[in-house]
Amino acid sequence: MGFFTKLMFGIYLFFVVHGRPDMIEEEILDEILYNYNKLARPGTIEHPTVKVEHGVNLIKIEECDGKTLKAMTWLPIAWTDPRLAWSLDFYDLDALTLPSDLLWTPDIVLYNSPSSHAGNAYNPRVYIFNSGSLSWYPPTTITTNCEGSEIDNTVIFCLMRFGSWSYHGRALDIVLSSDFVDTEDYIEHPEWEYVNSTAYKAVQMYACCPEAYPYVMYNITLRRRDNSQSYNVETNLPHSINGVIESEESKYNVNSDTAVLDKDSNTYQTNNTISGKGSDTDNTDSGGK
C-alpha cells in the first residue's frame, strides 16, 4: 500500500471515528430555522408591531425627461426577527447571510410608480446578526413621476412614496433611517444635476378602516444643466414642494389635503380619507394604497 493510499485511508478512518468537523453556520441555521415559518410576521406579544427602517440610496439616473424619473437605487431595509437570534456563548459567529426567499421580509413597495412595480436587478442575501436584527440592501430600478417648479422650468421635484402593501401601522410601522436620500455612491448625470433631497414620514387614514397606514415620502430635486437663470433652491423649495405634494395627493382621490405635524415624533398625520375600499376588507391584510 503506497503512502498516498495510506494517507487517504487514515483520513477516512478519522472521519468515521470522529465524525465530520463542526460546521458553525450549519449548526446556527439548524437552530434558528427549525420550525421557522416565513409566512408569519415576526411580531411578539411584548412587541406586536414590527418596526421597519427604510432608506433610499441614489446610485444613478438612468432616464429623465422632466416628467418621469427612472433611477438605479439601493433601498436599505432593517428590521428585527427574534426567531433568528442565537447566543454567542455557544457559537463564535456574530453574523451570517441567507437568501431572502427563506425569510419573512417586509412588503415595502413604491406606491406612486407609473409602472406596475419596481424592478429588482438582483435579489441579494439578507444579513442576519446574532441579536436577531436583519439588514437588506436590494438594488432596485425605480420609476416615479416628477413635477416642474413654478418658478424655474429647469428645476423638477421627483416624489417617491413607500409603504407596506398589506399591513396597517399596528402590524408594521415604517420609519426613516435618514431624513434625506443618500448620495454617497451617486454617479453624476450629464443632463440633470442633483440639487438636494428631503424625506418625511406620514400617516394615511382610509374611510374603511380605523387603523392608520404609515408611509415615507422622499423628494429629490433635480436641475437641468446649463441653466442661465439665477435660482435659489433653498429659498423657493418649500413653496414648490407644497405644490407638488398637493398635486401628488390629488392622484390618490384625497378628499382633504390637511396634514398635521406631530412635533414629538416628526410624523405627519394626514387627516383625510380615501374612498374605494370595501368596508368588509380585512384591516390587517389590505392597504388599499
pLDDT tens for each residue of 74-104: 999 999 999 999 999 999 999 999 999 999 9
> Quick check: is 104 in a domain?
yes
Per residue in 169-216, pLDDT (tens digit) is 999 999 999 999 999 999 999 999 999 999 999 999 989 889 999 999
pTM: 0.73
- E strand residue ranges, 13-112: 50-54, 57-64, 68-74, 77-80, 95-99, 108-110
> Quick check: is 213 in a domain?
yes
Task: Tell which phi-psi region holds residue 276, choosing left (phi > 0), alpha (psi between -120 and 50) or beta.
Answer: left
* Domain assignment of residue 198, given as a range: 24-270
> Quick check: is 69 in a domain?
yes
> Quick check: is 70 in a domain?
yes
> Quick check: is 115 in a domain?
yes
Which residue's C-alpha cell is 416628477? Answer: 146
- Averaged pLDDT for residues 28-48: 96
> Quick check: is 287 in a domain?
no
> Quick check: is 14 in a domain?
no
CATH of the domain at 206: 2.70.170.10
- Averaged pLDDT for residues 124-152: 94
> Quick check: is 45 in a domain?
yes
The number of domains in the chain is: 1
> Quick one: pLDDT at residue 3?
58
25-59 burial, b for 16+ CB within 10 Å, e for fewer? eeebbeebeeebeeeebbbeeeeeebebbbbbbbb
